[in-house]
């Protein structure tokens, strides 16, 4: 049993390593304001977190922005609208 732990631990480490690498290389879909949204979101976390949501409604993304603002995100009203327009267009609910 002790010998089996080594290969299992290696497999788990490789899986998580590859998953983290894929998340770090994640990109948002092409569209107006993608670069702005990317810069804004990656100021605190990787894009994998954004993409992992699977998409949200405008209200859902707005609630997410409220949450991010409670953690310190600072955006103007106009910037918030740009972010919401992008996310609801390119990452809608499935």
Side-chain-facing half-sphere of 72: CA atoms under 13 Å: 3
Per-residue pLDDT of 9-62, as tens digits, reads 555 655 554 444 444 468 999 999 999 999 999 999 999 999 998 899 999 999
pLDDT value of residue 26: 87
d(CA 22, CA 15): 11
Q: How confident is the model at residue 73 (pLDDT cuts 50, 70, 90)?
A: very high
pLDDT value of residue 3: 59
CB 79 within 8 A of CB 35: no
Q: Which of 42, 9, 13, 14 is nearest to 27 (CA)?
A: 42
Model confidence at 84: pLDDT above 50 = yes
pLDDT value of residue 4: 60
In total, the chain counts a number of residues equal to 94
């Amino acid at each position: 049993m002790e010998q089996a732990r080594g290969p299992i631990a290696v497999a788990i480490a490789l899986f998580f390593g590859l998953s983290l690498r894929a998340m770090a290389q994640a990109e948002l879909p092409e569209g107006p304001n993608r670069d702005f949204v990317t810069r804004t979101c990656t100021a605190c976390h990787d894009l994998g977190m954004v993409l992992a949501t699977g998409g949200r409604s405008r209200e859902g993304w707005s609630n997410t922005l409220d949450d991010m603002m409670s953690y310190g995100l600072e955006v103007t009203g106009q910037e918030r609208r740009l972010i919401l327009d992008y996310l609801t267009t390119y990452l809608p609910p499935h």
